[in-house]
Amino acid sequence: MQKAIRFGAVASLLFMTAGCIQQSSGEEGSKGTIGIAMPTQSSERWIADGNQMVAYFEELGYDTDLQYAEDIVENQFSQIENMITRGVDALVIASIDGETLTSVLESANAENIPVISYDRLIMNSEYVDYYATFDNYKVGVLQGEYIVEALNLEEEEGPFNIELFAGSPDDNNATFFFKGAMSVLQPYIDQGKLVVPSGQTDFNQIAILGWDGAKAQSRMDNLLSSNYGGGEELHAVLAPADLLSIGIIASLKNSGYTVDTMPIITGQDADLPAVNAVIKGEQAMTVFKDTRLLAKKAVEMTEAVLQGEEPEVNDTNTYDNNAKVVPAFLEEPVVVDQDNYEEVLVDSGYYEASQLDQ
Ligand code: GAL
Protein backbone atom coordinates (compact mmCIF):
# COMPACT_ATOMS: atom_id res chain seq x y z
CA MET A 1 0.00 0.00 0.00
CA GLN A 2 2.72 2.40 1.06
CA LYS A 3 4.73 1.46 -1.97
CA ALA A 4 1.75 2.11 -4.20
CA ILE A 5 1.27 5.54 -2.70
CA ARG A 6 4.94 6.35 -3.07
CA PHE A 7 4.95 5.13 -6.63
CA GLY A 8 1.88 7.26 -7.31
CA ALA A 9 3.62 10.33 -5.94
CA VAL A 10 6.74 9.70 -7.99
CA ALA A 11 4.70 9.00 -11.09
CA SER A 12 2.75 12.20 -10.76
CA LEU A 13 5.95 14.13 -10.15
CA LEU A 14 7.43 12.71 -13.31
CA PHE A 15 4.24 13.51 -15.11
CA MET A 16 4.38 17.10 -13.93
CA THR A 17 8.00 17.74 -14.78
CA ALA A 18 8.01 15.86 -18.02
CA GLY A 19 4.69 17.34 -19.08
CA CYS A 20 2.51 15.30 -21.28
CA ILE A 21 3.16 13.98 -24.72
CA GLN A 22 0.03 12.76 -26.46
CA GLN A 23 -0.03 10.79 -29.66
CA SER A 24 -2.93 11.28 -31.99
CA SER A 25 -4.97 8.17 -32.61
CA GLY A 26 -5.32 9.01 -36.30
CA GLU A 27 -4.79 5.97 -38.48
CA GLU A 28 -3.07 7.73 -41.37
CA GLY A 29 -0.14 8.69 -39.13
CA SER A 30 0.59 11.95 -37.41
CA LYS A 31 0.48 15.29 -39.20
CA GLY A 32 3.15 16.54 -36.82
CA THR A 33 3.67 17.58 -33.22
CA ILE A 34 2.48 20.80 -31.61
CA GLY A 35 4.25 22.17 -28.54
CA ILE A 36 1.80 23.77 -26.12
CA ALA A 37 3.40 25.86 -23.36
CA MET A 38 0.97 26.89 -20.63
CA PRO A 39 1.76 29.10 -17.63
CA THR A 40 0.37 27.33 -14.57
CA GLN A 41 -2.16 24.90 -13.23
CA SER A 42 -3.05 27.23 -10.34
CA SER A 43 -6.10 28.50 -12.18
CA GLU A 44 -8.41 25.90 -13.69
CA ARG A 45 -8.81 27.89 -16.81
CA TRP A 46 -5.30 27.01 -18.00
CA ILE A 47 -5.89 23.33 -17.34
CA ALA A 48 -9.04 23.50 -19.45
CA ASP A 49 -7.24 25.45 -22.18
CA GLY A 50 -4.46 22.86 -22.36
CA ASN A 51 -6.74 19.83 -22.34
CA GLN A 52 -9.06 21.27 -24.94
CA MET A 53 -6.22 22.13 -27.30
CA VAL A 54 -4.83 18.61 -26.97
CA ALA A 55 -8.26 17.19 -27.83
CA TYR A 56 -8.79 19.46 -30.85
CA PHE A 57 -5.26 18.90 -32.20
CA GLU A 58 -5.69 15.16 -31.86
CA GLU A 59 -8.96 15.29 -33.75
CA LEU A 60 -7.06 16.90 -36.61
CA GLY A 61 -4.36 14.23 -36.49
CA TYR A 62 -1.59 16.04 -34.60
CA ASP A 63 0.45 14.85 -31.64
CA THR A 64 0.92 17.30 -28.81
CA ASP A 65 3.48 18.09 -26.16
CA LEU A 66 1.67 20.00 -23.38
CA GLN A 67 3.78 21.58 -20.63
CA TYR A 68 2.95 23.72 -17.61
CA ALA A 69 5.66 25.86 -16.00
CA GLU A 70 3.91 26.65 -12.70
CA ASP A 71 4.57 30.36 -13.10
CA ILE A 72 8.36 29.94 -13.16
CA VAL A 73 9.63 32.04 -16.03
CA GLU A 74 12.90 30.09 -16.51
CA ASN A 75 11.05 26.78 -16.62
CA GLN A 76 8.78 27.98 -19.36
CA PHE A 77 11.79 29.19 -21.31
CA SER A 78 13.51 25.82 -21.11
CA GLN A 79 10.31 23.92 -21.84
CA ILE A 80 9.97 25.86 -25.08
CA GLU A 81 13.66 25.41 -25.84
CA ASN A 82 13.26 21.65 -25.41
CA MET A 83 10.22 21.60 -27.66
CA ILE A 84 12.26 23.31 -30.37
CA THR A 85 15.11 20.82 -29.90
CA ARG A 86 12.65 17.95 -30.17
CA GLY A 87 11.50 19.37 -33.49
CA VAL A 88 7.90 20.39 -32.90
CA ASP A 89 6.10 21.69 -35.97
CA ALA A 90 4.41 24.65 -34.27
CA LEU A 91 4.29 26.33 -30.88
CA VAL A 92 1.25 27.64 -29.00
CA ILE A 93 2.37 29.69 -26.01
CA ALA A 94 0.54 31.36 -23.13
CA SER A 95 3.47 33.23 -21.63
CA ILE A 96 4.22 33.77 -17.96
CA ASP A 97 6.32 36.90 -18.49
CA GLY A 98 5.56 38.15 -21.99
CA GLU A 99 8.86 40.03 -22.18
CA THR A 100 11.23 37.11 -21.65
CA LEU A 101 10.77 34.95 -24.73
CA THR A 102 12.53 37.03 -27.39
CA SER A 103 15.61 34.82 -27.76
CA VAL A 104 13.75 31.51 -27.63
CA LEU A 105 11.44 32.75 -30.38
CA GLU A 106 14.54 33.52 -32.43
CA SER A 107 15.49 29.86 -32.10
CA ALA A 108 11.98 28.88 -33.16
CA ASN A 109 12.23 31.09 -36.20
CA ALA A 110 15.62 29.63 -37.10
CA GLU A 111 13.87 26.25 -37.30
CA ASN A 112 10.88 27.68 -39.19
CA ILE A 113 8.53 26.88 -36.34
CA PRO A 114 5.46 29.13 -36.36
CA VAL A 115 4.34 30.64 -33.06
CA ILE A 116 0.80 31.35 -31.93
CA SER A 117 0.47 33.60 -28.89
CA TYR A 118 -2.29 32.22 -26.70
CA ASP A 119 -4.47 34.51 -24.57
CA ARG A 120 -1.47 36.68 -23.54
CA LEU A 121 0.57 38.62 -26.07
CA ILE A 122 4.27 37.70 -26.34
CA MET A 123 6.16 40.99 -26.45
CA ASN A 124 9.33 42.18 -28.20
CA SER A 125 9.47 39.60 -30.97
CA GLU A 126 8.66 39.78 -34.64
CA TYR A 127 8.33 36.00 -34.65
CA VAL A 128 4.87 35.90 -33.16
CA ASP A 129 2.75 34.88 -36.13
CA TYR A 130 -0.77 35.19 -34.74
CA TYR A 131 -2.57 35.90 -31.49
CA ALA A 132 -5.72 34.14 -30.25
CA THR A 133 -7.32 35.92 -27.31
CA PHE A 134 -10.44 37.53 -25.90
CA ASP A 135 -11.30 41.19 -26.14
CA ASN A 136 -9.17 42.08 -23.13
CA TYR A 137 -10.17 45.75 -22.95
CA LYS A 138 -13.80 44.70 -22.97
CA VAL A 139 -13.21 42.38 -20.00
CA GLY A 140 -12.31 45.47 -17.97
CA VAL A 141 -15.23 47.46 -19.37
CA LEU A 142 -17.62 44.69 -18.29
CA GLN A 143 -16.16 44.71 -14.77
CA GLY A 144 -16.43 48.51 -14.53
CA GLU A 145 -19.97 48.54 -15.87
CA TYR A 146 -21.02 45.91 -13.39
CA ILE A 147 -19.84 48.05 -10.48
CA VAL A 148 -21.58 51.13 -11.91
CA GLU A 149 -24.87 49.26 -12.25
CA ALA A 150 -24.66 47.44 -8.93
CA LEU A 151 -24.10 50.71 -7.05
CA ASN A 152 -26.61 52.48 -9.30
CA LEU A 153 -24.14 55.30 -9.88
CA GLU A 154 -26.32 56.93 -12.54
CA GLU A 155 -28.88 57.81 -9.86
CA GLU A 156 -27.02 57.69 -6.56
CA GLU A 157 -24.70 60.43 -5.38
CA GLY A 158 -22.64 58.22 -3.08
CA PRO A 159 -19.93 58.71 -2.26
CA PHE A 160 -19.08 55.02 -2.39
CA ASN A 161 -15.71 53.63 -1.35
CA ILE A 162 -13.86 51.48 -3.86
CA GLU A 163 -10.41 49.87 -3.93
CA LEU A 164 -8.66 48.89 -7.15
CA PHE A 165 -6.54 45.87 -8.01
CA ALA A 166 -4.75 45.07 -11.26
CA GLY A 167 -3.11 41.92 -12.58
CA SER A 168 0.51 40.99 -13.09
CA PRO A 169 2.62 43.78 -14.58
CA ASP A 170 4.54 41.29 -16.77
CA ASP A 171 1.27 40.25 -18.45
CA ASN A 172 0.26 42.56 -21.29
CA ASN A 173 -3.40 41.71 -20.61
CA ALA A 174 -3.28 43.31 -17.18
CA THR A 175 -3.06 46.87 -18.52
CA PHE A 176 -5.85 46.19 -21.02
CA PHE A 177 -8.14 44.97 -18.23
CA PHE A 178 -7.29 47.97 -16.05
CA LYS A 179 -7.66 50.55 -18.81
CA GLY A 180 -10.98 49.05 -19.85
CA ALA A 181 -12.32 49.16 -16.29
CA MET A 182 -11.05 52.69 -15.66
CA SER A 183 -12.60 53.95 -18.88
CA VAL A 184 -15.90 53.28 -17.11
CA LEU A 185 -15.00 54.06 -13.47
CA GLN A 186 -12.81 57.17 -13.84
CA PRO A 187 -15.69 59.56 -14.68
CA TYR A 188 -17.44 58.56 -11.43
CA ILE A 189 -14.20 59.06 -9.48
CA ASP A 190 -13.88 62.49 -11.11
CA GLN A 191 -17.46 63.33 -10.10
CA GLY A 192 -16.78 62.24 -6.53
CA LYS A 193 -19.42 59.51 -6.59
CA LEU A 194 -16.65 56.93 -6.22
CA VAL A 195 -13.83 57.52 -3.77
CA VAL A 196 -10.63 55.48 -3.40
CA PRO A 197 -9.77 55.95 0.31
CA SER A 198 -6.28 54.45 -0.06
CA GLY A 199 -5.52 56.90 -2.85
CA GLN A 200 -3.89 54.02 -4.75
CA THR A 201 -5.04 54.39 -8.32
CA ASP A 202 -1.84 54.00 -10.36
CA PHE A 203 -1.34 50.70 -12.12
CA ASN A 204 2.05 50.23 -10.46
CA GLN A 205 0.61 50.66 -6.97
CA ILE A 206 -2.21 48.20 -7.44
CA ALA A 207 -0.69 45.50 -9.70
CA ILE A 208 -0.24 42.03 -8.19
CA LEU A 209 2.84 40.23 -9.51
CA GLY A 210 2.20 36.71 -10.76
CA TRP A 211 -1.58 37.02 -10.32
CA ASP A 212 -0.87 35.75 -6.83
CA GLY A 213 -4.00 35.42 -4.67
CA ALA A 214 -1.97 35.42 -1.44
CA LYS A 215 -0.41 38.76 -2.42
CA ALA A 216 -3.84 40.17 -3.20
CA GLN A 217 -5.04 38.97 0.18
CA SER A 218 -2.21 40.68 2.03
CA ARG A 219 -2.63 43.91 0.04
CA MET A 220 -6.33 43.87 0.99
CA ASP A 221 -5.36 43.28 4.65
CA ASN A 222 -3.13 46.36 4.49
CA LEU A 223 -5.76 48.47 2.77
CA LEU A 224 -8.32 47.55 5.40
CA SER A 225 -6.09 48.23 8.37
CA SER A 226 -4.72 51.52 7.00
CA ASN A 227 -7.90 53.03 5.61
CA TYR A 228 -10.95 51.37 7.10
CA GLY A 229 -9.95 51.13 10.75
CA GLY A 230 -12.59 53.60 11.87
CA GLY A 231 -15.52 51.54 10.68
CA GLU A 232 -15.56 53.02 7.16
CA GLU A 233 -17.43 50.75 4.79
CA LEU A 234 -15.95 49.39 1.59
CA HIS A 235 -18.56 49.25 -1.18
CA ALA A 236 -16.71 47.86 -4.18
CA VAL A 237 -13.46 46.18 -5.18
CA LEU A 238 -12.25 46.06 -8.75
CA ALA A 239 -10.57 42.66 -8.96
CA PRO A 240 -9.32 41.77 -12.44
CA ALA A 241 -9.46 37.98 -12.08
CA ASP A 242 -10.74 35.19 -9.87
CA LEU A 243 -7.28 34.26 -8.62
CA LEU A 244 -7.22 37.67 -6.92
CA SER A 245 -10.87 38.00 -5.93
CA ILE A 246 -10.62 34.79 -3.91
CA GLY A 247 -7.72 36.24 -1.88
CA ILE A 248 -9.56 39.53 -1.46
CA ILE A 249 -12.68 37.76 -0.20
CA ALA A 250 -10.59 35.78 2.30
CA SER A 251 -9.13 39.02 3.65
CA LEU A 252 -12.54 40.69 3.93
CA LYS A 253 -14.02 37.68 5.73
CA ASN A 254 -11.12 37.67 8.18
CA SER A 255 -11.86 41.24 9.03
CA GLY A 256 -15.52 40.59 9.64
CA TYR A 257 -17.30 41.11 6.33
CA THR A 258 -20.12 38.63 5.71
CA VAL A 259 -22.21 37.67 2.69
CA ASP A 260 -24.59 40.46 3.67
CA THR A 261 -21.97 43.16 3.99
CA MET A 262 -19.54 42.12 1.23
CA PRO A 263 -18.65 44.86 -1.23
CA ILE A 264 -19.35 44.40 -4.94
CA ILE A 265 -16.36 42.31 -6.05
CA THR A 266 -15.59 41.56 -9.68
CA GLY A 267 -13.60 38.72 -11.21
CA GLN A 268 -12.65 36.93 -14.38
CA ASP A 269 -12.33 33.32 -15.63
CA ALA A 270 -15.31 31.63 -13.99
CA ASP A 271 -12.92 29.47 -11.96
CA LEU A 272 -14.88 27.07 -9.76
CA PRO A 273 -14.11 28.68 -6.37
CA ALA A 274 -15.20 32.03 -7.79
CA VAL A 275 -18.38 30.66 -9.35
CA ASN A 276 -19.21 29.14 -5.99
CA ALA A 277 -18.51 32.51 -4.36
CA VAL A 278 -20.90 34.10 -6.86
CA ILE A 279 -23.58 31.54 -6.03
CA LYS A 280 -23.06 32.23 -2.31
CA GLY A 281 -23.20 35.97 -2.84
CA GLU A 282 -19.64 36.71 -1.77
CA GLN A 283 -18.45 37.69 -5.23
CA ALA A 284 -20.79 39.72 -7.44
CA MET A 285 -19.68 38.59 -10.86
CA THR A 286 -17.01 36.95 -12.94
CA VAL A 287 -16.20 37.44 -16.60
CA PHE A 288 -16.44 34.09 -18.36
CA LYS A 289 -14.05 33.47 -21.22
CA ASP A 290 -15.06 30.19 -22.77
CA THR A 291 -11.78 28.31 -23.07
CA ARG A 292 -13.42 25.92 -25.53
CA LEU A 293 -13.76 28.77 -28.03
CA LEU A 294 -10.24 30.04 -27.51
CA ALA A 295 -8.65 26.60 -27.71
CA LYS A 296 -10.54 25.85 -30.92
CA LYS A 297 -9.50 29.17 -32.43
CA ALA A 298 -5.83 28.65 -31.59
CA VAL A 299 -5.94 25.15 -33.05
CA GLU A 300 -7.58 26.41 -36.25
CA MET A 301 -4.97 29.17 -36.53
CA THR A 302 -2.13 26.69 -36.10
CA GLU A 303 -3.61 24.28 -38.63
CA ALA A 304 -4.07 27.10 -41.17
CA VAL A 305 -0.47 28.28 -40.80
CA LEU A 306 0.85 24.72 -41.16
CA GLN A 307 -1.28 24.22 -44.28
CA GLY A 308 0.08 27.45 -45.76
CA GLU A 309 -3.29 29.20 -45.44
CA GLU A 310 -4.23 32.52 -43.85
CA PRO A 311 -5.95 32.10 -40.48
CA GLU A 312 -9.10 34.10 -39.83
CA VAL A 313 -8.42 37.27 -37.80
CA ASN A 314 -10.71 40.09 -36.67
CA ASP A 315 -8.20 42.57 -35.25
CA THR A 316 -5.13 43.93 -36.97
CA ASN A 317 -4.63 47.15 -34.98
CA THR A 318 -4.72 46.62 -31.25
CA TYR A 319 -1.92 44.29 -30.30
CA ASP A 320 1.43 45.95 -30.89
CA ASN A 321 4.11 43.86 -29.17
CA ASN A 322 6.84 46.50 -29.72
CA ALA A 323 8.18 44.60 -32.73
CA LYS A 324 5.03 44.35 -34.84
CA VAL A 325 1.26 44.58 -34.67
CA VAL A 326 0.26 40.96 -34.24
CA PRO A 327 -2.81 39.91 -36.21
CA ALA A 328 -5.36 38.64 -33.71
CA PHE A 329 -8.68 36.95 -33.29
CA LEU A 330 -10.61 38.29 -30.30
CA GLU A 331 -13.34 36.16 -28.76
CA GLU A 332 -16.18 37.73 -26.75
CA PRO A 333 -16.14 37.69 -22.95
CA VAL A 334 -19.44 37.19 -21.10
CA VAL A 335 -20.61 38.48 -17.70
CA VAL A 336 -21.68 35.75 -15.28
CA ASP A 337 -23.57 36.44 -12.06
CA GLN A 338 -26.24 34.84 -9.92
CA ASP A 339 -28.87 35.46 -12.60
CA ASN A 340 -27.27 33.61 -15.48
CA TYR A 341 -24.59 31.22 -14.21
CA GLU A 342 -26.78 28.17 -14.79
CA GLU A 343 -27.58 29.07 -18.34
CA VAL A 344 -24.04 30.14 -19.30
CA LEU A 345 -21.96 27.61 -17.37
CA VAL A 346 -24.15 24.57 -16.74
CA ASP A 347 -26.53 24.46 -19.71
CA SER A 348 -23.60 24.97 -22.07
CA GLY A 349 -21.83 21.96 -20.52
CA TYR A 350 -18.85 23.96 -19.23
CA TYR A 351 -19.48 22.70 -15.70
CA GLU A 352 -21.58 19.87 -14.35
CA ALA A 353 -24.28 21.06 -11.94
CA SER A 354 -22.74 18.68 -9.38
CA GLN A 355 -19.48 20.69 -9.41
CA LEU A 356 -21.28 23.77 -8.10
CA ASP A 357 -22.39 24.47 -4.51
CA GLN A 358 -26.02 25.14 -5.25
C1 GAL B 1 -4.63 36.63 -17.80
C2 GAL B 1 -5.78 35.92 -18.43
C3 GAL B 1 -6.90 35.83 -17.45
C4 GAL B 1 -6.43 35.23 -16.13
C5 GAL B 1 -5.12 35.81 -15.67
C6 GAL B 1 -4.54 35.03 -14.51
O7 GAL B 1 -3.61 36.76 -18.72
O8 GAL B 1 -6.21 36.59 -19.59
O9 GAL B 1 -7.93 35.05 -18.02
O10 GAL B 1 -6.36 33.88 -16.22
O11 GAL B 1 -4.19 35.88 -16.70
O12 GAL B 1 -4.26 33.71 -14.85
CATH 3.10.450.50 fits 8-128+290-332, yes or no: no
For ligand 1, pick from 120, 165, 269 the residue to mutate: most ligand atoms within 8 Å of CB: 269
Rounded distance between C-alpha atoms, residue 179 and residue 27, angstroms: 49
Whether 133 lines ligand 1, by a CB cut-off of 6 Å, is no
Q: Whose CA is nearest to atom 1 of ligand 1?
A: 173
Whether 119 lines ligand 1, by a CB cut-off of 6 Å, is yes
Reduced to 3 states (helix: H, G, I; strand: E, B; else coil), residue 171 is coil
Quote the pLDDT of residue 26. Answer: 53
The full set of domain ranges for the chain reads 8-128+290-332, 136-289+338-343
The topology (CATH level 3) of 136-289+338-343 is Rossmann fold (3.40.50)
Whether 241 lines ligand 1, by a CB cut-off of 6 Å, is yes
Residue 285 φ/ψ, nearest 5 degrees: -155, 165
The pTM (predicted TM-score) of the whole model is 0.92
Instruction: Identify the sign of the CA torsion 293, 295, 297, 303.
Output: negative
Residue 162 φ/ψ, nearest 5 degrees: -135, 145
Whether 43 lines ligand 1, by a CB cut-off of 6 Å, is yes
Quote the pLDDT of residue 28. Answer: 65
Atom of ligand 1 nearest to the CA of 39: 12
Quote the pLDDT of residue 149. Answer: 98
What separation in Å is there between the alpha carbon of 241 and the centre of ligand 1?
Answer: 7
Rounded distance between C-alpha atoms, residue 281 and residue 212, angstroms: 23
Please tell me if the domain spanning 8-128+290-332 has the same topology as the one spanning 136-289+338-343.
yes
Burial of 256 (0-12, 13-18, 19+ CB in 10 A): exposed
- Encode the chain (358 residues) as per-residue pLDDT tens digits: 333 333 333 334 444 444 777 776 655 689 999 999 999 999 889 999 999 999 999 999 999 999 999 999 999 999 999 999 999 999 999 999 999 999 999 999 999 999 999 999 999 999 999 999 999 999 999 999 999 999 999 999 999 999 999 999 999 999 999 999 999 999 999 999 999 999 999 999 999 999 999 999 999 999 999 999 888 999 999 999 999 999 999 999 999 999 999 999 999 999 999 999 999 999 999 999 999 999 999 999 999 999 999 999 999 999 999 999 999 999 999 999 999 999 999 999 999 999 998 7
What separation in Å is there between the alpha carbon of 222 and the centre of ligand 1?
Answer: 24
Q: Whose CA is nearest to atom 5 of ligand 1?
A: 241
Rounded distance between C-alpha atoms, residue 159 and residue 195, angstroms: 6
